[in-house]
Amino acid sequence: MSKTALFPGSFDPITNGHLDLLERATKLFDKVIITVAVNNRKDSVFTGSERVHLIEKCLGEKSWKSQIEVEKFSGLLIDYAKKRDVNVLLRGVRQISDFEYEFRMALTNRRLAPDIDTIFLMPDEQLTFISASIVKEIAYWGGDLSSFVPPIVADALIEKFRHKREQE
Ligand code: PNS
């Protein structure tokens, strides 16, 4: 039986932490669908299409790339999971501070769709402090992003924040 998981998130932008989780997930699942949340009532730096494009670029050379699909979605995650006939949601937990939010979200999703379960994976401990918001903060102030995101993402962030700063 082929097993598929949804890996939902904002991915604004994808980080080395996400990529580490994805690689781990490809060892556990035949297929992982990265579901990029758009219209998520959150201000994002990159549009949905830009986020998908960056993810696809980052997957470029990975040996496990063929196991990954990247999609945008808006609406309730469990509706998208049902539409794709997937009953596993995959999320990363980096530290205790993630737990409360993840616990609430997993139990809410379970209440809405009892047949869909959430599985948590931990990234490499060297990456546990990386978050998209920290990455954006560093990018805003022109810091070194090389250990946080792949070069293609760093370039896109630098370009984005250069425009932002020019507008301010
Ligand atoms: O990367 P993020 O921002 O932590 O991802 C959060 C995401 C996109 C997974 C979550 O906000 C989500 O599932 N949004 C879709 C709307 C939904 O289904 N909400 C109910 C779950 S509480």
Residue nearest to atom 13 of ligand 1 (CA): 77
Q: Ligand 1: distance of its center to the CA of 111 in Å?
A: 15
Cα distance between residue 108 and residue 69, in whole Å: 25
Instruction: Name the residue ranges covered by the structural domains of the chain.
Output: 4-126
Whose CA is closest to 35, among 67, 1, 3, 5?
Answer: 5
Hey, CA dihedral for 69, 72, 78, 83, is it positive or negative?
A: negative
Sorting pLDDT into bands at 50, 70 and 90, what band is 166? confident
SS3 (DSSP) at 144: coil
Better-scored residue on pLDDT, 66 or 39: 66
The answer to whether the bond into 114 is cis (omega within 30° of 0) is no
Q: Tell me, which fold does domain 4-126 have in CATH?
A: Rossmann fold (3.40.50)
Cα distance between residue 83 and residue 67, in whole Å: 19
Which atom of ligand 1 is least distant from the CA of 79? 18
> Which pLDDT tens digit goes with each residue over 36-45?
999 767 789 9
> Which pLDDT tens digit goes with each residue over 119-138?
999 999 999 999 999 999 99
Q: Which residue has the tokens 């090389």?
A: 146
Ligand 1 in reach of 108 Cβ (< 6 A): yes
Ligand 1 in reach of 105 Cβ (< 6 A): yes
